[in-house]
Amino acid sequence: MIIVHDTFVCKPGNASKIAKLFKEVMGKEKDVLHIMTDMTGQWHRVIMVSQYENLTAYEKSWEKYTADTEENKKMHEKMAGTNDMYVSGSREIYKVW
């Protein structure tokens, strides 16, 4: 099993907005476990935690999100403008032992 942390360092005042949007758009996905905001450490962070059986399953999830479907078009419409709300980001993939 692998755990993925997608971290977004947001512009001040935008972390809660992005967290709420991610929760709305991604919160029902079976692979997404948590949408978190920081309480310590670097400020203005939103971390989306997801879990997959293996790297192949993770790659297949990308195929699902990039497919040309009505559902994805609606998701992209809702997410429009989020790139202006954060300054950087990163992805960490962990193997669970």
C-alpha to C-alpha distance for 27 and 64, rounded to whole angstroms: 16
CATH number at residue 42: 3.30.70.100
pTM (two decimals): 0.86
Question: In this predicted model, what pLDDT tens digit does every residue of 8-66 receive, in sequence order?
Answer: 999 999 999 999 999 998 878 889 999 999 998 889 999 999 999 999 999 998 888 77
Q: What is the separation of C-alpha 53 from the centre of its chain, rounded to a whole number of angstroms?
A: 17
Domain holding 17, by residue range, is: 2-95
Q: Which region holds residue 41: left if phi is over 0, alpha if psi is between -120 and 50, else beta?
A: left
Q: Number of structural domains, the chain?
A: 1
